[in-house]
């Protein structure tokens, strides 16, 4: 059974007013368990609307969302219940911090689940360790931390709920390259350690290239779904959808346009290097 | 969703009513209110209603939208109508049974009050539906500018008003976002007793306050970076200009007022 199944989901904002807008339009999507899935799409393609249906924050205009085969909108209880199984980290999550101390803020989610105090504390400490927060920050006010640290606290707040599916909307937006890399590494490590599933919404193609699977959204529908190498084969189509390509895929596309017979599906630098060297007849020796 | 709040929201459009100068619309709204409270006969109310209906039709505002604006006031309207109905002194009883007394005068008063409030509210909604908040502020500033002579800080007041109006959608969006974020962490904002609910609001209010202060600070910095130093000597990108249609609008307003006064005199 797939982890999450979305059936002909449609969502219309402000229906019946001059501001009516169809954000998600009859979308079908299946997410399998235990992998990292990247969700990419141009601004306004419906990514944010889609992910808010996955933990019942938005109700569909029509269609259904199934988590482990069960309709998450079946009742008020199931809608609240799913939020503990599907964790959602919004864009710029640092603006949601409110508690007096870092540890208290991370504990907010588990506390809402009415767990034992000892269990709450264990989860909070574990989540803080996963995102790399040092022990001495635990008793500080989250508002006194730096931007990058606030981001970590906010992400830890969702990790502490120990979700089976973790959805992150642009978790690395506004971080410096080193911080971005570091955060991704930590999230991937967390996923492996817990055998959970991650859905990563991103504009950063180098992050997308590292996912196990990619879903491309366009105008509220799934335009493409497959492994990164399958998806990046459609380089021209991605560009027409207003998306970037990973640098290596972009260079390969330009070389192909200049008449080099490079194979399809190149999206990492080593792949590109090997392909170019193979063409030059020198074999795959590293430079 | 909070985003779906449409109360008094501007409906963009390009009709005669939309294109009227905001000053004209503000003044006409005052004339309309004056006419409404001068009218004291059934025919008078019919004329006022006709004026409202005609303006709404010209502005392509669906009647539904005007009725929708009345909904939040329903309770107050019904409550005052009942008070009027049962507590108006008079001798012309419809029902007189122990302490319950309903008079014809009371019935008339209640009906007149209902009609007045409904027309008053829909009339002002027509103004906000067809005029963007910024245009209303501009119009108000222009109309109040004589007060500058009395050292009333008209420019600052109107700037404050436009900033406040400008940030309403931003704050609604922000509230929505923080609410979703806390709900995603299992916050329960909807159930529980009064104390519990008030407590549940803290995770919403604190981040909202923090970000409002941050925004205010950023806006002040941005204004200073652009060398903003008050209203003295500032020019405008969009200068308000009266056109022929405004003159016609004033004629219509004057006719409405005159008609109502005549009806009042003749007691028709």
Residue B122 and residue B21 share a domain: yes
Question: In chain B, whose CA is at the least distance from the CA of A142?
Answer: B207
Question: In chain B, whose CA is at the least distance from the CA of A52?
Answer: B180
- CB-count exposure of residue A5 (10 Å: 0-12, 13-18, 19+): middle
Closest CA of chain A from B184, distance in Å: 6
Mean pLDDT of chain B: 85
Q: Work out how many CB contacts closer than 8 A connect A with B.
A: 65
Model pLDDT for residues B77-110, shown as the tens digit of each residue: 888 888 888 877 777 777 777 777 778 888 888 8
User: Tokens for A174?
Assistant: 């506004």
The reply to whether B148 falls in a domain is no
Whether A50 shows a pLDDT value over 70: the answer reads yes
d(CA B214, CA B195): 29
- CB-count exposure of residue B162 (10 Å: 0-12, 13-18, 19+): middle
Could you report how far apart the first and last alpha carbons of chain A are, in Å? 46
Residue B192 and residue B167 share a domain: yes
Chain B touched by A108 (CB under 8 Å): yes
Instruction: Specify the length of chain B in residues.
Output: 268
Chain B residues in contact with A83 (beta carbon < 8 A) = 183-186
Closest CA of chain B from A60, distance in Å: 13
> What's the pLDDT at B190?
73
d(CA A89, CA A284): 42
Q: Do B136 and B22 contact (CB within 8 A), yes or no?
A: yes
Residue with token string 């009516």: A20
d(CA B137, CA B255): 27
Task: Band the pLDDT of B1: cuts 50, 70, 90.
Answer: very low
Range of the domain at B41: 9-131+241-268
Whether B185 sits inside 8 A of A93 (CB atoms) is: no
Closest CA of chain B from A87, distance in Å: 7
The percentage of residues in chain B with a pLDDT greater than 70, rounded to a whole number, is 97
Total number of domains constituting chain B:
2
pTM passes above 0.90: no
Mean per-residue pLDDT for B9-23?
86
Model pLDDT for residues B193-222, shown as the tens digit of each residue: 788 888 888 899 999 999 999 999 999 999
Whether A90 sits inside 8 A of B11 (CB atoms) is: no
Residue with token string 């997308």: A208
Chain A residues in contact with B177 (beta carbon < 8 A) = 90, 95
Task: Band the pLDDT of A284: cuts 50, 70, 90.
Answer: very low
Domain segments of chain A: what residues? 246-287
Closest CA of chain B from A96, distance in Å: 6
Chain A residues in contact with B6 (beta carbon < 8 A) = 17
Nearest one of A16, A78, A82, A29 to A214, comparing CA atoms: A29
Element (H, E) at A84: helix A76-85
Spell out the residues 6+ positions from residue A64 whose beta carbon is closer than 8 angstroms to its own.
A6, A7, A8, A9, A71, A73
DSSP A262: P
Burial A232-252 (b: 16+ CB within 10 A, else e): bbbbeebeebebebbebbbbb
Backbone angles phi, psi at A128, to 5 degrees: -65, -40
The reply to whether B141 falls in a domain is no
Whether B184 sits inside 8 A of A17 (CB atoms) is: no
**Among partner residues B177, B178, B185, which is closest to A157 by beta-carbon distance?**
B185
Q: Which of B4, B5, B184 to mutate to test the interface with A (most CBs of A within 10 A)?
A: B184
Chain B residues in contact with A162 (beta carbon < 8 A) = none
d(CA B93, CA B89): 10
Residue B162 and residue B120 share a domain: no
Cα separation values, B110 from A43, A53, B80, B107, Å: 54, 48, 8, 5
Chain B residues in contact with A57 (beta carbon < 8 A) = 180, 183-184
Whether B203 sits inside 8 A of A108 (CB atoms) is: yes
Instruction: Choose from A189-193, B113-117, B169-173 the range with maximum mean pLDDT.
Output: A189-193
Chain B residues in contact with A55 (beta carbon < 8 A) = 184
Question: In chain A, whose CA is at the least distance from the CA of B191?
Answer: A76
DSSP A129: H
Model pLDDT for residues A52-105, shown as the tens digit of each residue: 999 999 999 999 999 999 999 999 889 989 999 999 999 999 988 999 999 999
Closest CA of chain A from B193, distance in Å: 16
**Strand extents, DSSP E, chain A:** 4-13, 21-31, 36-41, 62-67, 70-71, 86-89, 165-169, 197-201, 213-218, 221-226
Residue B24 and residue B125 share a domain: yes
Residue B164 and residue B44 share a domain: no
**Among partner residues A89, A97, A112, which is closest to B186 by beta-carbon distance?**
A112
Model pLDDT for residues B224-235, shown as the tens digit of each residue: 999 888 777 778
Mean per-residue pLDDT for A223-237?
90
A 41-60: CB under 8 A from B: 52, 55, 57
A 134-173: CB under 8 A from B: 143, 157-158, 161
The reply to whether B4 falls in a domain is no
Chain B residues in contact with A88 (beta carbon < 8 A) = 181, 184
The reply to whether B2 falls in a domain is no
Q: Which residues of B touch A (CB under 8 A)?
A: 3-4, 6, 11-12, 174, 177-178, 180-188, 202-203, 206-207, 210-211
Residue B247 and residue B223 share a domain: no
Mean pLDDT of chain A: 90
Residue with token string 């609307």: A49
Residue B245 and residue B123 share a domain: yes
Residue B119 and residue B245 share a domain: yes
Instruction: Determine how many CB atoms are found less than 10 A away from the CB of residue A201.
Output: 24
Chain B residues in contact with A79 (beta carbon < 8 A) = none
The reply to whether B236 falls in a domain is no
Question: In chain A, whose CA is at the least distance from the CA of B3?
Answer: A14
Task: Band the pLDDT of B8: cuts 50, 70, 90.
Answer: low
Closest CA of chain B from A111, distance in Å: 9
């Amino acid at each position: 059974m797939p982890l999450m199944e979305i059936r002909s989901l449609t969502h219309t904002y402000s229906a019946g007013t001059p501001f009516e807008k169809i954000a998600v339009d009859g979308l079908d999507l299946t997410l399998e368990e235990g992998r990292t899935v990247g969700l990419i799409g141009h601004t306004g393609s419906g990514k944010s609307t889609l992910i808010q249906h996955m933990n019942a924050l938005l109700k569909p205009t029509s269609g259904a969302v199934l988590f482990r085969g069960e309709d998450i909108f079946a009742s008020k209880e199931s809608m609240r219940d799913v939020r503990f199984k599907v964790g959602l980290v919004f864009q710029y999550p640092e603006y949601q911090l409110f508690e007096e101390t870092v540890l208290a803020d991370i504990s907010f989610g588990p506390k809402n689940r009415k767990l034992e105090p000892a269990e709450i504390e264990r989860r909070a400490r574990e989540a803080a360790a996963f995102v790399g927060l040092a022990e001495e920050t635990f008793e500080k006010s989250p508002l006194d931390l730096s931007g990058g640290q606030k981001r970590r606290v906010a992400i830890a707040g969702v990790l502490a709920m120990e979700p089976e599916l973790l959805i992150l909307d642009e978790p690395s937006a506004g971080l410096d390259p080193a911080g971005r890399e570091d955060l991704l590494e930590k999230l991937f490590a967390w996923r492996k350690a817990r055998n959970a599933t991650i859905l990563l919404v991103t504009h950063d193609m180098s992050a997308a290239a590292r996912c196990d699977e990619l879903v491309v959204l366009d105008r509220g529908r799934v335009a493409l779904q497959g492994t990164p190498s399958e998806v990046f084969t459609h380089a021209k189509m991605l560009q027409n959808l207003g998306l970037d390509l990973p640098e290596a895929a972009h260079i390969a596309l330009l070389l192909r346009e200049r008449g080099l017979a490079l194979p399809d599906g190149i999206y990492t630098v080593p792949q590109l290097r090997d392909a170019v060297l193979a063409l030059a007849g020198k074999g795959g020796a590293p430079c | 969703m909070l985003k779906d709040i449409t109360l008094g929201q501007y409906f963009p459009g390009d009709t005669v009513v939309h294109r009227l100068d905001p000053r004209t619309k503000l003044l006409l709204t005052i004339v309309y209110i004056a006419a409404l409270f001068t009218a004291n006969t059934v025919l008078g109310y019919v004329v006022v209603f006709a004026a409202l209906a005609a303006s709404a039709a010209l502005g392509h505002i669906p009647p539904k939208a005007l009725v929708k604006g009345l909904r939040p006031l329903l309770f107050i309207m019904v409550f005052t109508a009942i008070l009027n109905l049962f507590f108006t002194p008079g001798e012309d009883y419809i029902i007189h049974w122990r302490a319950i007394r309903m008079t014809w005068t009371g019935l008339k008063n209640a009906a007149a009050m209902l009609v007045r409030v409904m027309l008053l509210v829909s009339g002002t909604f027509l103004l906000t539906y067809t005029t963007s908040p910024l245009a209303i502020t501009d119009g108000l500033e222009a109309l109040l500018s004589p007060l500058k002579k009395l050292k009333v800080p008209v420019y600052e007041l109107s700037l404050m008003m436009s900033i406040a109006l400008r940030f309403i959608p931003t704050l609604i969006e922000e509230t929505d976002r923080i609410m979703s974020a806390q709900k995603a962490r299992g916050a329960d904002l909807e159930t529980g007793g009064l104390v519990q609910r008030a407590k549940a609001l803290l995770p919403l209010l604190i981040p909202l306050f923090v970000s409002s202060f941050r925004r205010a600070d950023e806006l002040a910095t941005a204004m200073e970076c652009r060398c903003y130093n008050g209203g003295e000597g500032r020019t405008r990108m969009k200068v308000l200009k009266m056109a022929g249609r405004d003159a016609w609008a004033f004629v219509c307003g004057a006719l409405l007022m005159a008609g109502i006064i005549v009806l009042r005199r003749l007691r028709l």
